[in-house]
Amino acid sequence: FTSSQSLSGSVVLGREADFDSVVGFYRTLDAAGTVIAADGITRLKPGDRGYTETALQPFNRINQLGNYSVADGQTTSRNFTGLTGGTFLAPFAQVNGNTFLAFGAANADRISHFRVLGNNLFGMEDLLGGGDRDFDDLVFGFSISQVA
């Protein structure tokens, strides 16, 4: 969606994992995951030194889509409004002291921990090294109710 548009809707989460995880989203400039640094000029790509720290700075994080968590074996949903466009959204998760980003090159194990499971539906693998690679440890989906 464009920078002049905003979205409203909900995010639904479900968890099937022993480890607690917190999921949120950050802004990227393109589908390759490029983020902009605090100076407004420097651009970092997944795998660049400082990428994770920069991606998760408050100016790149999306407050309306942050701090999602759910108990094991449970589901929950949360509404959001006024999410502005003009950038790409990328998920991140914090699990057992590890931070996993949407792009494998940005992760300590160089493995992608997120997978598209369907339209507006994503799964996460929560173990360093890829675990069992079932991508159902945390599943989240979007339901868009309004584009204004």
d(CA 128, CA 132): 10
User: 3-state DSSP call for residue 64?
Assistant: helix
Each residue's pLDDT tens digit, 32-41: 999 999 999 9
pLDDT tens per residue, range 46-64: 999 999 999 999 999 998 8
Q: Which residues of the chain have pLDDT under 50?
A: none
Q: Cβ neighbours of residue 37 under 8 Å, at least 6 residues apart?
A: 43, 44, 50, 54
pLDDT of residue 86: 79
- Containing 93, the helix (H) or strand (E) segment is strand 88-95
% of the chain exceeding 90 in pLDDT: 63
- The span from the CA of 27 to the CA of 41, in Å, is 15
User: What's the Cα-to-Cα distance from 106 to each of 55, 102, 137, rounded to whole Å?
Assistant: 10, 8, 20
